[in-house]
Amino acid sequence: MAARLFCLRGLLRAVGPRPFSAQASPLQAEQHGTKRPEPSSAKTLLDIGTRRIFSSDHDICRESARKFFQEEVLPFHAEWEKDGQVSREVWEKAGQQGLLGVAIAEKHGGIGADILSSAVVWEEQMYVNCTGPGFSLHSDIVMPYIANYGSEEQIKHFIPKMTAGKCIGAIAMTEPGAGSDLQGIRTYAKKDGNDWILNGSKVFITNGWMSDVVIVVAVTNREAQSPAHGISLFLVENGTKGFIKGRKLNKIGLKAQDTAELFFEDVRLPASALLGKENKGFYYLMAELPQERLLIADLALASCEFMFEETRNYVKQRKAFGKTVAHLQTVQHKLAEMKTQICVGRAFLDNCLQLHADKRLDSPTASMAKYWASDLQNSIATQCVQLHGGWGYMWEYPIAKAFVDSRVQPIYGGTNEIMKELIARDIVSDK
């Protein structure tokens, strides 16, 4: 799989192949420094070429990703909202553009870029305010489990197809009676010779309806000294006998993102369906959750940046009392407050992204990022709707969609209350 450049396939004919290297060139080193403007001093918070954590390679990736989301996602999103899911076609187009499996090693069938390149894709999707395609969960939550813990056969079977957008991934943790408390899971897999018999149900599963493969979290040892010692992960493919997809759930937001109930009724799985080692699933989950929480946090900050620019443009055009709303001092002060809050948040998030790129992001810090950024997202959404007045409550206005989409962010990926527990536990620990 020679020279598969993430996010650049649409530009290769124009600029020629440019191998992405984790080792910074002199030009990249210069552009990683102070000569790259920070968002606070840029013309807009969405400008390309800002933020010192990125390089010129990331800028090219961003240009390509922005073009893709503007041309292949935004024009169709309203129809997908009615359908409750995106098209299969957009997944394959994303695969052709190199927007899936970006940070998965090339030797496994991924694109082989860094996590900052994945962040570019996360952010650009939020910059068009289109939450339908579950690309980030597929690429940066589901695929790493397979790449990090899967057998050679599992990696060869799934990763190339997932990178191409021909196999859509989901992960099934949440149950009707177990959300943030993963140790409360009741889905059970029992050994039967060399096989496993899986029974249980899952709910609120992103990509669940369209999924071709689902990582299912299940109890495999009910006699373990603690629930954490008796959980395993399984790869369950669509079409497996006894695997039933329930209804697409009718949510108040994320209307184009398919979210489903999943049921497992005496599903017989071969030994090869076990992902990683038996009874080690909880430890795999704990190892991968910081990236999931960082992802949610970056999506939240990118949404804040989009909402701010959308609102800035609106108040500069909307007239009241004979002049634009932007001339009112109270509105100006509100914009000043919001931009400051967003730029402070962006500085922290970029630090977390760099820490993660250096493999130094710990769980408490990721939890801080997730809770703080998603809370900020909801605060910014509320303020931006208010500045739009009655029109901000109308579904055809982007700010209305951003408002309802933001509400789930403090809930999934571990509620923000749980995030505070994890942070506090680290603070008071004697270790």
Give the chain's length. 431
Average pLDDT over residues 59-64: 98
Question: What is the reported pLDDT for 180?
Answer: 75
Question: What is the reported pLDDT for 343?
Answer: 98
Question: What is the reported pLDDT for 220?
Answer: 97
Question: What is the reported pLDDT for 181?
Answer: 77
pTM of the model: 0.92
Residue-wise pLDDT for 367-412, tens only, equals 999 999 999 999 999 999 999 999 999 999 999 999 999 999 999 9
pLDDT reading at 277 higher than 90: yes
Dmax (CA) of the chain: 79
Residue-wise pLDDT for 311-343, tens only, equals 999 999 999 889 999 999 999 999 999 999 999
DSSP state of 74: G
Question: What is the reported pLDDT for 35?
Answer: 85
Q: What angle do CA 420, 430, 284 make, to 5 degrees?
A: 60
Instruction: Report CA Rg, the chain.
Output: 22
Question: What is the reported pLDDT for 5?
Answer: 52
Question: What is the reported pLDDT for 410?
Answer: 97
List the catalytic residue out of 123, 288, 292, 305.
Answer: 292
Greater pLDDT, 165 or 225? 165
Q: Which residues contact 393 (CB under 8 A, 6 or more apart)?
A: 385, 400
Average pLDDT over residues 128-145: 98
Question: What is the reported pLDDT for 3?
Answer: 35
Identify whether 292 is a catalytic site residue.
yes
Task: Look at residues 97, 100, 119, 118 and name the one whose alpha carbon lies nearest to residue 109.
Answer: 100
Of the listed ranges 30-34, 132-136, 303-307, 367-371, the one predicted with least confidence: 30-34
Question: What is the reported pLDDT for 393?
Answer: 97
Question: What is the reported pLDDT for 18?
Answer: 40
CB burial of residue 16 (10 Å; 0-12, 13-18, 19+): exposed
HEC sequence for 33-67: CCCCCCHHHCCCCCCCCCCCCCCHHHHHHHHHHHH
Give the ranges where 216-328 is alpha helix by DSSP (H): 281-317
3-state secondary structure at position 71: helix
Task: Look at residues 15, 9, 50 and name the one whose alpha carbon lies nearest to residue 33.
Answer: 50
The neighbour count for residue 367, using CB atoms within 10 Å, is: 27
Question: What is the reported pLDDT for 179?
Answer: 76
Q: What angle do CA 77, 81, 82 make, to 5 degrees?
A: 125
Task: Look at residues 149, 283, 275, 146 and name the one whose alpha carbon lies nearest to residue 227.
Answer: 283
Task: Look at residues 410, 367, 405 and name the one whose alpha carbon lies nearest to residue 384.
Answer: 405
